[in-house]
Amino acid sequence: MTESIYANYPPSLSPTQQEFLVTTIKDWAIQNGLAVRPPPTYVPEGTDPNRVLATTAPVTLFPSPFPRSCFQEAEALQTAYNRLYATITNDEKWLGKIIEDLIDVDDFVANLWKTHLAVKEEGYVQDLSLGLFRSDYMAHETANNAPELKQVEFNTISSSFGGLSALVRSLHYDLLTSPPGFSLSYPPHPLFESNVPPENTAVETLSGGLAAAHIAYGPSKSSPKLPLAILFIVQDGERNVFDQLALLKRLTDFHKIPVFRVISSKILDQTSIPASDPSRPLVYTPPHSPTTPFEVTTVYLRAYYSPDEYKSSRDWEARTHLERSAAIKCPTVLNQLSGCKKIQQVLAEPSGPDHLSSFLKGTDSSLIERLRKTFAPQYDLSESGQGRDLALNPESALKHVLKPQREGGGNNVYKSEIPGFLKSIPEADWKGWVLMELINPAANAENVALRNDGEVLRGNVISELGVYGTILWDNKGNVLHNDQGGWLLRTKGKEVNEGGVAAGFSSLDSVLLF
Ligand code: ADP
Ligand code: MG
Ligand code: MG
């Protein structure tokens, strides 16, 4: 069945039609904020000294067909996944045992763990944690059966693209529904008949989580009391700023919550914790208005997920400063660590303790089995395990990807490169990596991408679906808010191993369910 859906999709375009569609999309994108700051390589040095330029985010010209059953299953599982990762985060002992093994081979993980221990030693003053998660999947094709939903990874920090993804859905919706003869619109195709991409509530869901945390924080702890605000911690030179601003706008316009974006290198200059106050409120002093400080209820990290962002001990000092404050962290250090690829591999282990059932006590066992079904086989590289043989054998390596404990794309080793890579690093370091079987989405799907240098590429593609979820919980395991909603489809050339839009591999896309 899948075969026939992908055949002759997307409809072909004459050169004039394609040019027209591309022009329409470029204009739509800028008009609606479906944009990114241009990569430095597109702006030769000195040509944009004041950084005023923005460009169309990489997008597909057409929505991609995606199996409805997989899409619905991903949505149905999200709140259980939220609970799973909240519960793991609360189990410091279980988490610590796994992290312990990574500490001697991974400085970044070691430093995160140290940050947690330092704050624990002093005592945490905030019981609540906020998660803004994204669970990523592919629709795995098997010979005769219906496609199966398989998880690529679960993200617990800086889960991005909710803002732009909702806009791509609107772009494709507009192109599908504009009457023929109008400036927008696609050539006809059977898949377009009375079919539009499902609603995408990513912005509402993610801001809803932040707003729930803001409210749960309660009144100002400062004396005298201060007005309350949310802080987004962002990277210097962030190109994906409009994605963040979509959440910011929803928080200010709809929830009426003040939000400020602070570059991570400025945290120690612009925020403080009064030394004399044991409740440790985090006070933000806006540089543009130093006489009106705010107390921060919630710190949302769109930074600090990658080791290269910690340039000196000052960055670790800033991270510790946030962690020890009374602000609700999204995520806490422990919640960030729960998203390690190693944790996902341990959860997927087919034998040994049933971690899923113990973390999701009280959950319907059939739901737990549905979660388990989304796991692709994953292995450690220990001497006794199967993973080592699979990774070192050139033939079996072809069916696998090797992952370190990193986020943000561009860190994995693929297929034929795995054996040589492993042999090039000390064997003692192998325990910092996990081996995962490759998921195989439909082989004959096609789409056309408009890259952000204006290049238009048509070809076979692979799509990755992300579903957003948000959860607010306390350290005793009480859940105050647990919600799912909104999705992301990223599409890349079939021959490309890596994923990630920001990393330059994929384009933003939307789904047409079949
Ligand atoms: P990151 O946290 O850096 O995004 P991922 O686990 O998502 O790491 O891997 C990056 C990309 O590698 C994914 O977006 C996907 O394109 C590809 N990838 C990862 N795991 C698999 C897998 N099991 N099967 C197929 N592709 C994968
Ligand atoms: Mg990730
Ligand atoms: Mg990923």
The overall pTM is greater than 0.95:
yes
Give mean pLDDT, residues 63-90.
98
Residue partners of 472: CB distance under 8 A and separation at least 6: 128, 129, 130, 131, 209, 212, 213, 216, 328, 479, 480, 481, 482
- Ligand found nearest the CA of 406: 1
Residue nearest to atom 23 of ligand 1 (CA): 438
Torsion of CA 153, 159, 162, 168, to 10 degrees: -50
Residues marked as catalytic? 134, 153, 155, 160, 341, 403, 407-408, 490
Ligand nearest to the CA of 441: 1
Nearest to 28 by CA among 511, 472, 450: 450
Nearest-CA residue for ligand 1 atom 14 is 499
CB burial string 344-358: b at 16+ within 10 A, e below: bbbbbbeeeeebbee
Query: Residue type at 372?
Result: R
pLDDT at 74 > cutoff 50:
yes
Q: Per-domain residue ranges for the chain?
A: 3-376+439-513
286: DSSP letter: -
Structure tokens at 386: 């199967």
**What pLDDT score does 1 carry?**
46
Under the banding of pLDDT at 50, 70 and 90, the label for residue 183 is: low
* Ligand 1 site, residue 376, Cβ cutoff 6 A: yes
Does 224 have pLDDT greater than 90?
A: yes
* CA dist list (Å): 382 to 395, 434, 511: 19, 10, 40
Give the C-alpha separation, 509 to 465, whole Å: 9
- Decide whether any atom of ligand 1 lies within 6 Å of the 409 Cβ: yes
Cβ atoms within 10 Å of 236's Cβ, excluding its own: 10
Q: Which one of 161, 390, 412, 497 would you pick to mutate in the ligand 1 pocket, going by the greatest count of ligand atoms within 8 A of its CB?
A: 412
What value does the mean pLDDT of the chain take?
A: 95
- CA gap 408, 136 in Å, rounded: 13
Distances (CA, A) of 327 to 123, 252, 266: 14, 19, 17
Instruction: State both tokens at 240.
Output: 């994906």
144-163 average pLDDT score: 96
Residue 184's pLDDT is what? Answer: 61
pLDDT in tens, 330-385: 999 999 999 999 999 999 999 999 999 999 999 999 999 999 999 999 999 999 88
Question: Distance between CA 463 and CA 465 in Å, rounded?
Answer: 7
Q: What is the mean pLDDT of residues 167-171?
A: 98
Q: What is the mean pLDDT of residues 164-185?
A: 86
Largest pairwise CA distance in the chain: 70
Residue 113 is predicted with a pLDDT of: 98
pLDDT of residue 194: 85
Write down the pLDDT at residue 144: 80
In angstroms, what is the span from residue 398 Cα to ligand 1's centroid?
A: 15
> What pLDDT is stored for residue 179 in this prediction?
74
The pLDDT assigned to 504 comes to 73
**474 CA distance to ligand 3 middle (Å):** 27
Annotated binding site for ATP: 153, 341, 403-412, 414, 436-439, 464, 492, 498
pLDDT of residue 180: 65
* Beta carbon of 334 within 6 Å of any ligand 1 atom: no
Residue 162 Cα to ligand 3 midpoint, Å, equals 14
List pLDDT tens digits, range 466-514: 999 999 999 999 999 999 999 999 999 998 888 778 777 899 999 999 9
Distance 323 CA to ligand 2 centre (A): 21
Nearest residue (by CA) to ligand 1, atom 3, is 409
Round to whole Å and give the CA distance between 199 and 322.
35
Any atom of ligand 1 within 6 Å of the Cβ of 438: yes
Least confident range from 185-194, 382-391, 433-442: namely 185-194
φ/ψ (deg, to 5) at 229: -150, 165
Question: Torsion angle of alpha carbons 496, 502, 503, 507, nearest 10°?
Answer: 10
Res 416 pLDDT > 90:
yes
Q: pLDDT of 431-479, one tens digit each?
A: 999 999 999 998 889 999 998 788 899 999 999 999 999 999 999 999 9
> Which-ligand-closest: CA of 403?
1
Task: Check if the beta carbon of residue 129 is closer than 8 Å to that of residue 92.
Answer: no
- Burial environment of residue 60 by CB neighbours within 10 A (0 to 12, 13 to 18, 19 or more): buried
Give the pLDDT confidence score for residue 181 in this predicted structure.
59
Question: With 60 as the cut, is the pLDDT of residue 103 above it?
Answer: yes
For residue 38, cis peptide bond before it (omega within 30 degrees of 0): no
Pocket test for ligand 1, best of 153, 338, 490, 495 (most atoms within 8 A of CB): 153
Cβ 510 under 6 angstroms from ligand 1: no
Tell me if 377 CB under 6 Å of ligand 1. no
Distance from Cα 508 to the centre of ligand 3, integer Å: 14
Q: Are 234 and 302 in contact (CB under 8 A)?
A: yes
Closest C-alpha among 348, 333, 409, 441 to residue 65: 441
